[in-house]
Amino acid sequence: MIGLIGKKLGMTQVFGPNGEQIPVTVIQAGPCRVIHRKTKEKHGYDAVQLGFEPVEEKKVKKPQLGHFKKHNSPPYRYMREFRLKLYKDIEEGEVFNVSMFSENEILEVSGTSKGKGFQGVMKRHGFSGFKASHGVHESFRGPGSIGQCATPSRVYKGKKLPGHMGTEKVSILNCKVIKVDLEKNLVLVKGAIPGHRNSIVRLRKEL
């Protein structure tokens, strides 16, 4: 198997063998059940659909419940799909946990970033703003000129302007596994990962 679905629990710190302080993010990863196995012959690509966090049937919509029953699986709150390049012998019904990870292993962690709402160009794009003196008296945090008057007489698409910030899919590469707790299904990765507490993340082995 190449990855798991997890829940970000928060951040803490651990100490290395030489006493150095290491900031880590605690992730509850799995156990995840294989709900659906997709094959290249039938679906055009190889993938597995994993379920995370069992839930009561009454809390699942009827189409989703029918999908679970079709594949002889109990209902789950979250489902994610993982493309397969290796490990083609996985079958429906198998359950995977954090035992697939090991210390010092490198992972790719994907999640949804925190929503910041409507923000200006300084916070959203890192603009420096204007001087606080020397004639500047109206705009200090504005974007400045956004285009030309006669040519092209419009604002180019993709121009960095104020707008909604956050709530986007973010993937962090080269996340180092510091510790794996098999009893509590916890993975501690070095540094910060996207998302708020209790947000769903995807852990994927870098192949």
- In the predicted structure, residue 60 carries a pLDDT above the cut 60: yes
> Could you tell me if 127 and 91 lie in one domain?
no
**What is the overall mean pLDDT for the chain?**
91
User: Within this chain, do residues 67 and 122 fall inside the same structural domain, yes or no?
Assistant: no
Q: What is the pLDDT of residue 157?
A: 93
Residue 176 bridge partners (DSSP)? 106
- 197 and 175 belong to one structural domain: yes
DSSP letters of 132-172? SSTT--S-SS-----S-SSSS-SPPTT---SEEE---EEEE
Domain that holds residue 37: 32-96
Q: Are residues 77 and 54 in the same domain?
A: yes
Q: Mark whether 56 and 108 lie in a shared domain.
A: no
Q: Does any domain span residue 205?
A: yes
- My answer on whether omega of the bond before 17 falls inside 30° of 0, hence cis, is no
What does the pLDDT look like over 15-48, one tens digit per residue?
988 889 999 999 999 799 999 999 888 989 889 9
For residue 104, tell me if it sits in a domain.
Answer: yes
Same domain? 19 vs 86: no
Q: What is the pLDDT of residue 148?
A: 86
Instruction: For residue 7, name the pLDDT band (cuts at 50, 70, 90).
Output: very high
In a domain, 65, yes or no: yes
pTM given for the model: 0.84
Backbone φ and ψ for 126, nearest 5 degrees, come out as 80, 25
- Residue 8 in this model has a pLDDT that exceeds 70: yes
Same domain, yes or no, for 61 and 90?
yes
pLDDT for the residue 181: 92
For residue 151, is pLDDT > 90? no
Question: How many domains, the chain?
Answer: 2
Considering the domain architecture, whether residues 174 and 207 belong to the same structural domain is answered as yes
Whether 82 and 65 map to the same domain: the answer is yes
Looking at the structure, do residues 64 and 117 belong to the same domain, yes or no?
Answer: no
The closest of 206, 121, 120 to 171, measured between CA atoms, is 206
Asked whether residue 142 is domain-assigned, the answer is no
Contact 189, 176 (CB under 8 A): yes
More confident residue, 206 or 83: 83
Residue 142: name the closest of 157, 127, 158 by CA.
127
Residues 124 and 70 in one domain: no
CATH label of the domain that carries residue 170: 2.40.30.10
Among the candidates 96, 119, 142, a domain finishes at 96
**What single-letter DSSP state applies at residue 110?**
E
Flag whether pLDDT at 106 surpasses 60: yes
Neighbour count for residue 33 (Cβ, 10 Å): 21
Can you give the CATH number for the domain in which 55 is found?
3.30.160.810
Looking at the predicted structure, is the pLDDT value of residue 86 above 80?
Answer: no
CA 113, 119, 125, 128: dihedral to nearest 10 degrees?
A: -140
